[in-house]
Amino acid sequence: MLAVLFRAAGLLFLLWSSVVKVWAEAKGFIIGGIMMFLMVMAMEANIVVKQVNALIEGGYYPNKAEFVEDAISAFFELRKDMKVASAIELYKKEEISISKAAELAGLDMEEMKRVLVEEGVGIKRGFTKDRRTAASELSGMV
């Protein structure tokens, strides 16, 4: 799927670069510089796809899904702020409990509560959406 997205982006880039090329001739060197930047970015995206494919073909990863999961885990280890932010967003949507949010964020419960208060997120009592649904289904069975 990632390769399809990059191919579509490449086609869009080619179309865009054709339009920009005509305009660049009229507008001078600034537009030419922008085109060069876009071309370099497209080449870098292409090499990233090649790198990922090389790792899979070399047996380092069984498939792209495993690579993506590992890359995301590494991202969250490098960007602790994003790790906390994702836990806050899931908690705000009531998709996870406060204890799960603390676990995902790598914080203890009290620190998680403090972060939520600092971010203006109310502390909820009771069940998350999934648990409320399950509880109502169980009560309907009785």
pLDDT > 90 in the chain, percent: 46
Question: pLDDT value at position 125?
Answer: 78
Whether 46 shows a pLDDT value over 90: the answer reads: no
**How far apart are the C-alpha atoms of 85 and 95, rounded to whole Å?**
14
Predicted TM-score (pTM) of this structure? 0.56
- Give the pLDDT of residue 47: 84
Tell me which of 15 and 107 has the higher pLDDT.
107
Q: CB within 8 A of 14, min separation 6: which ones?
A: none
49-78 per-position pLDDT tens digit:
889 899 999 999 999 899 889 999 999 999
pLDDT (average), residues 117-139: 70
Residue 126 has a pLDDT of: 67
Angle at 87 between CA 120 and CA 123, to 5 degrees: 40
